[in-house]
Each structure stands twice: as structure tokens, then as C-alpha cells.
Amino acid sequence: MKKALLSLIAVLMSVGLIAQYTVTFSVDMTNADGFDPLTESVYVAGDFLNWEQPGSNPDYMLTPDPVDPNIYTIDYEFPDGDTVINFKYFIIADEPSWDNGEWDGDPNRREVLTGESTLMHVWGNQPVVVGFSVNMTNAEVFDPATDDVYIAGSLANGWAQPGTVKYYMMEPTEDNDMIYAIELVLDTGDYQYKYFRIIDDVPSWDNGEWAGDPNREVTVAYDMDAVVDVWATLNPGIDDINTAVVFDLYPNPCQSNLFVELSEVENVTSVEVYNMLGKEVLEIKEFSGNELQLNTADLTNGVYFVAVRSGNSVQTIKFVKE
């Protein structure tokens, strides 16, 4: 049924009955080990091509760019509208094969298409699957009944306006319906981003975590799998823009105990510990002094965040349990 539907769409597109746009796939083969352009070809395979085996359909073979023969390209027509595609490039010598892909197994490359574009890739640069989550518990005027949470930034189609691309709408997690999460497939490198509330499905740059700069920043690397944020709180270790309470942690890394030193305790309402998935694992709401001792013996080894709340401000610091 799926293959028949794809065939029907292709026929309708070919006769111009469905609005469409062109996407150019481009991959730099300069550093592809062992690639011989005299005897081997470059193919693309993906879900938008029904995952046909690479080499089985010459229509999916890329051709060298006339200006730079190390760059291989192919154009493909997509029906109008947002489309999420998963794909990978393959080197084919003689026979169709699933061997000689850019890398073995997952993840595939993923792109969110919204219109005519050129996708620039480098052979073998494997992307990273990163989960982003934001805790909306203390977000002022947030109403889950009318508000959606979007992530926007250089990691989301080059700062596409929040609410315009549904793929970037976050969903409540099973463990806590006030923690919203999304999984992105990103190339390694530096990104800026911010979270936004979208009210009644109306796209807008209003209702972000705060107005103007600074944006959140993250460096995606192969050893990361999650980014945990709190609404209106900057990156871990940086004060909330609302003059958050200052505190420190020791020892870090820790084993059985973690000590939290507060610069002042009068306005502190809670001290919370979250894991990398954004799930709260510890909480303290009563304080007898400026130093708190947290029992971390039962926590599994890994990365966690301490969040100290004071009025409308939150400050977070990352620590490691060994």
C-alpha cells in the first residue's frame, strides 16, 4: 500500500498536479577512504525513496559537480509541505548492496524539509542523536491546555519561527507531564537555541523564555546524549537571568554524598536533583543552614543537575556521580 501511494504521488508530481519543491542533496567525497570515482558511484537511500537498495535504481545515483568533482549531487522533488526524511549515502562498485555506507547502523541522517533547499554533507560525518528537555514547572502563565512548547535556534532549520515547523514541537514526558522533550539528529558542532511557548497554535517570536539575548548555547559532541534545561534558566552553571541565588557543590564528582553550599538561604524554596532525562530524583524543601548534605549513594553513576530555586529564579549546576 505504501509503495503504491508513493508511486501515485510520483505520477501526480510528474504531471504537475501536486505543488512541489526541489531539494539538492550534496555530499563531499574528498576524504572518503578508498573511494575510486573511476570504478565506483555514489547513491542515496532513504525512507523517502522507500529504502530501495543502493545501486538498484540509477535515478538515485549522484553525479559529480562540474566545478568541484569531489562534490556529488542529486536533485529530488518533494510534495509541498513539511517533510522529515531519514537517509544515508552509499558507495556502489558493481552490484547493488547495503555494504559500503557512510557508517554501519544507526543513526541515519535526518533532515526537516520545508521548501527548496540544498543539503550540504561531508561523507562519513556521522550525526549525533541528542535529547533536549525543558522543565516547565515554574514557567509563569504557562497553560498546558492552550500552550505548546517549541525549540528554536540554529539547530532547528536555521531559526525557523517557533510554531511554523511542527517537527520542533516538544512533547510531555511520561514521567513528568511538566517536562517537555524532543529528540534531534544533529551534526557535531556549536549551536544556539531557546525555548518558546506557542499559544493556540499561532506561530510567534513572542513568549520565549526571555526577550533578546543571550541565547542558550550547546556544543554537540559524540559523547553526549541529552541536554537538560529549566525554563528561563540559562545553561548549567550560569545564573538565571533573574538574578538567581548563588551556590556551589562539592565534591564533584561525588560518590555517597554531595554538599550544597548556599550563599543565602532566606528566599530558597527548594533544592532539586535531576538526571539527564529531566526526571527529578531528589528534592529538599526544608533548610536549617547554608550547607545541605545530599545522599547520592542510591543514584546510578552518571551526570546529574542540582537546581536551586529562589522566588522566580533558578540556578543549575551539573555534577557527576561515580
In sequence order, what are the beta bridge partners of 42? 62, 91
Mean pLDDT, rounded, for 257-274: 84
With a cut of 50, say whether residue 277 has pLDDT above it.
Answer: yes
Task: Summarize pLDDT for 289-308 with one digit per residue, the tens.
Answer: 888 899 999 999 888 888 88
Return the pLDDT at 269.
82
Return the pLDDT at 285.
84
In sequence order, what are the beta bridge partners of 61? 43
CA–CA distance, 8 with 247 (Å, rounded to integer)? 62
Which band of pLDDT confidence, cut at 50, 70 and 90, is reported for residue 234?
Answer: low
Which band of pLDDT confidence, cut at 50, 70 and 90, is reported for residue 244?
Answer: very low
With a cut of 70, say whether residue 228 has pLDDT above it.
Answer: yes
Which band of pLDDT confidence, cut at 50, 70 and 90, is reported for residue 237?
Answer: very low
Return the pLDDT at 175.
80
Q: Is 251 helix (H, G, I), strand (E, B) or coil?
A: coil
Which band of pLDDT confidence, cut at 50, 70 and 90, is reported for residue 256?
Answer: very high
Query: Is 171 in contact with 136 (CB distance < 8 Å)?
Result: no
With a cut of 50, say whether residue 8 has pLDDT above it.
Answer: no
Residues sharing a CB contact under 8 Å with residue 80, sequence separation 6 or more, in sequence order: 18, 19, 20, 21
Task: Summarize pLDDT for 42-78 with one digit per residue, the tens.
Answer: 999 999 999 999 999 999 999 999 999 999 999 999 9
Which band of pLDDT confidence, cut at 50, 70 and 90, is reported for residue 313?
Answer: low
Q: Is 168 helix (H, G, I), strand (E, B) or coil?
A: helix
Q: What are the C-alpha distances in Å from 108 to residues 2, 61, 88, 90, 185?
A: 21, 18, 6, 12, 9
Which band of pLDDT confidence, cut at 50, 70 and 90, is reported for residue 235?
Answer: very low
Percent of the chain with pLDDT over 90: 62
Return the pLDDT at 296.
93
> Which of 89-93, 146-150, 258-262 is predicted least confidently?
258-262
Mean pLDDT, rounded, for 192-203: 97
Which band of pLDDT confidence, cut at 50, 70 and 90, is reported for residue 178?
Answer: very high
Q: What is the mean pLDDT of the chain?
A: 88
Query: Is 194 in contact with 167 (CB distance < 8 Å)?
Result: no
- All structural domains of the chain, each given as residue ranges with its CATH number in brackets, are 2-122 (2.60.40.10), 128-230 (2.60.40.10), 247-321 (2.60.40.3080)
Which triple of cell numbers denotes residue 132?
533536549
Which band of pLDDT confidence, cut at 50, 70 and 90, is reported for residue 240?
Answer: very low
CA–CA distance, 174 with 166 (Å, rounded to integer)? 20
Taking the CA atoms of the chain, what radius of gyration do you get in angstroms? 24
